[in-house]
Amino acid sequence: MRAKAPHDRDFGHSGRGGRGGDRGGDDRRGGGGGGNRFGGGGGGGGGGGGDYHGVRNGRIEKRRDDRGGGNRFGGGGGFGDRRGGGGGGSQDLPMRPVDFSNLAPFKKNFYQEHPNVANRSPYEVQRYREEQEITVRGQVPNPIQDFSEVHLPDYVMKEIRRQGYKAPTAIQAQGWPIAMSGSNFVGIAKTGSGKTLGYILPAIVHINNQQPLQRGDGPIALVLAPTRELAQQIQQVATEFGSSSYVRNTCVFGGAPKGGQMRDLQRGCEIVIATPGRLIDFLSAGSTNLKRCTYLVLDEADRMLDMGFEPQIRKIVSQIRPDRQTLMWSATWPKEVKQLAEDFLGNYIQINIGSLELSANHNIRQVVDVCDEFSKEEKLKTLLSDIYDTSESPGKIIIFVETKRRVDNLVRFIRSFGVRCGAIHGDKSQSERDFVLREFRSGKSNILVATDVAARGLDVDGIKYVINFDYPQNSEDYIHRIGRTGRSNTKGTSFAFFTKNNAKQAKALVDVLREANQEINPALENLARNSRYDGGGGRSRYGGGGGGGRFGGGGFKKGSLSNGRGFGGGGGGGGGEGRHSRFD
């Protein structure tokens, strides 16, 4: 199989525009315009303006959102980006108006401070926060330091002990007292921080202190998530911890039949985990309602905005009583997320775990190879050879690429050497995605090739390596991608192939590497210093652009792993430090 040339990229077609890029596999709204990942044809129309209710300074206010055209990612036929062009607004589906003038009261403060927590001195509290890299804004209760200090119900504590949890994570230690006090709060934390349990356990306590659902009632707790994968993982946690307390849940998302989801909603579920588009379908059809919803979670809010879901989120929130409790979670804190928090949460408490600056997990070793586009397949061969040849148990590997077409091509390429490999992208059916993830989680297939649809929300244990075959369009996506490894205080390794097409990202990547105290490829530093890529083979051990580098080059042949097949490597090229596989 020949190496893929630079001009083989998925540019779409000039006459009609290609498909829009991946939208997380959620739904088809937003009419993302045709065209390629560089923006080709016009973007789709954004959602229209509408009224929504907010809480500011303790008062319920009715406001108008006339930004119609969605947000900066998809305003009324605006520029298309790699996510599939403008759009981002939902279809103009009718939503039934909600009368908020006669709301029944509900309870949302259930927190009883443990004596140990109350008796800690300000110095002890501050020292703990510094050790855990917790910073707070607002009137914040003291953090707990042990599960016994949070007064969780016995049935919840039993499940915590059964699963072997030793101590709460930083976001749980500080977040649980806030959530169980009924306060609105924003949590800024990286993936793998334990945030799902951070809002599911307070949700269960909240639900069990409300009146039981009656026929026709919608959920008490609603969790919005950007992708079906994340929604399903949240449901798994909700099921594990909610079953003993008879808290029912369902998960609604696009790409799957509506029938079963609709029946679950109509039977009644205390917790609904949903992607925005599919939930709007059910709300518009009258299959459910949000009249009983008093606990709202926006998980990965930054990702939902990136994917163009802001108009849909606003439409959904307009159906929920404004005195609800709202928890928003995000890995980053850009101005768009901050504006959403101000609109939906009013006076809120903010928790930051780690730095607010864009940063990668320091448990991840990051390696960047500056190379030519046409050499990436050869480099991938040798890199996989090195991983397989130097480890008895290579663990799980995720390879990220930019286009669906390249996912399929790369999977065929890897499988041609007798190695099992799965694929996930937006065109895969739900049954295909479930099968691939099941094989990957179980270890039957230890390589997964994916677009960014899997970069956020994919929670799989044992991922040792992340390979950025195609470097993403920005540092945020790079950090989210490599965050699939190095979770829960384990170590991980990421590799990135960086070409002249990525030169504009060089400075930002150098900043990320420097913040994480990583070794920086001199060729990358050179790119960062110069706006123009001057190519050529480097003299460093990374091999510059001459096909060499740490990853080497050369052959890729069947080896002699336990299954009789594997990756074989060749020598380095272009002035790099050649590597040879024992399979040669």
pLDDT digits (tens, 9 = 90+) for 489-504: 789 999 999 999 999 9
Range from 89-103, 302-316, 566-580 carrying the lowest mean pLDDT: 566-580
Close Cβ partners of 212 (under 8 Å, ≥ 6 residues apart): none
- At residue 475, the pLDDT reads 86
Q: Which residue has the higher pLDDT, 132 or 79?
A: 132
Range from 131-140, 340-349, 539-548 carrying the lowest mean pLDDT: 539-548
Mean pLDDT of 100-124: 92
How far from the centroid of its chain's Cα atoms is residue 183's Cα? Answer: 25
- At residue 146, the pLDDT reads 93
Report the C-alpha gap between 395 and 388 in whole angstroms: 9
Tell me the CATH number for domain 115-353: 3.40.50.300
Over 80: is that where the pLDDT of 233 sits? yes
Question: Which tokens hold the place of 317?
Answer: 């929130």
Buried b (16+ CB within 10 A) or exposed e, 552-582: bbbbbbebeeeeeebbbbbbbbbbbebbbbe
**Per-residue pLDDT reduced to its tens digit, 516-565:** 999 999 999 999 988 544 443 333 333 333 333 334 344 333 333 333 34
Buried b (16+ CB within 10 A) or exposed e, 38-54: ebbbbbbbbbbebebbb
Question: Which tokens hold the place of 454?
Answer: 């899997």
- Domain 364-531 in CATH 3.40.50.300: yes
Report the C-alpha gap between 305 and 313 in whole angstroms: 9
Q: At what angle do helices 276-285 and 310-317 cross, to 10 degrees?
A: 40
Q: Which of 388, 384, 325 is nearest to 552 (CA)?
A: 384
Confidence band, pLDDT 50/70/90 cuts, at residue 357? low
Residue 444 burial (CB count, 10 A): 10
3-state secondary structure of 453: helix
Q: Which of 480, 399, 51 is nearest to 230 (CA)?
A: 480
Helix, strand, coil in percent for the chain, rounding step 5: 35, 15, 55
- φ/ψ (deg, to 5) at 353: -110, 115
Report the C-alpha gap between 256 and 252 in whole angstroms: 9
Q: Which of 327, 146, 293, 303 is nearest to 221 (CA)?
A: 293
Share of the chain above pLDDT 70, in %: 73
Report the C-alpha gap between 519 and 215 in whole angstroms: 60
Report the C-alpha gap between 584 and 581 in whole angstroms: 6
Confidence band, pLDDT 50/70/90 cuts, at residue 50? very low
Q: Which of 515, 505, 249 is nearest to 358 (CA)?
A: 515
Report the C-alpha gap between 408 and 400 in whole angstroms: 12
- At residue 487, the pLDDT reads 79
CB 85, CB 35: distance < 8 Å? yes
Confidence band, pLDDT 50/70/90 cuts, at residue 138? confident
Mean pLDDT of 99-116: 90
Where in 371-410 does DSSP place strands (E)?
396-400
- At residue 574, the pLDDT reads 40
How far from the centroid of its chain's Cα atoms is residue 568's Cα? Answer: 34
Over 90: is that where the pLDDT of 75 sits? no
Report the C-alpha gap between 379 and 574 in whole angstroms: 12
3-state secondary structure of 70: coil
Report the C-alpha gap between 29 and 6 in whole angstroms: 32
Share of the chain above pLDDT 90, in %: 51
- At residue 358, the pLDDT reads 67
Question: Which tokens hold the place of 14?
Answer: 């000039």
Q: pTM (2 decimals)?
A: 0.62
Where are the CATH 3.40.50.300 domain residues in the chain?
A: 115-353, 364-531
Over 60: is that where the pLDDT of 144 sits? yes
Number of helices (H) and strands (E) in the chain: give both, helices first: 17, 16
Question: Which tokens hold the place of 242?
Answer: 């909610």
- At residue 427, the pLDDT reads 84
Over 50: is that where the pLDDT of 204 sits? yes
CB 215, CB 268: distance < 8 Å? yes
Report how far apart, in Å, the C-alpha atoms of 347 and of each of 223, 302, 327 are. Answer: 20, 20, 12
Q: Which residue has the higher pLDDT, 300 or 565?
A: 300
Average pLDDT value for the chain:
78
CB 347, CB 57: distance < 8 Å? yes
Report the C-alpha gap between 533 and 500 in whole angstroms: 6
| H/E element, 383 | helix 376-389
- φ/ψ (deg, to 5) at 424: -135, 125
Q: What is the DSSP string of 517-558?
A: T----HHHHHHHH-SS---S--SSTT-TTTT-STT--S----
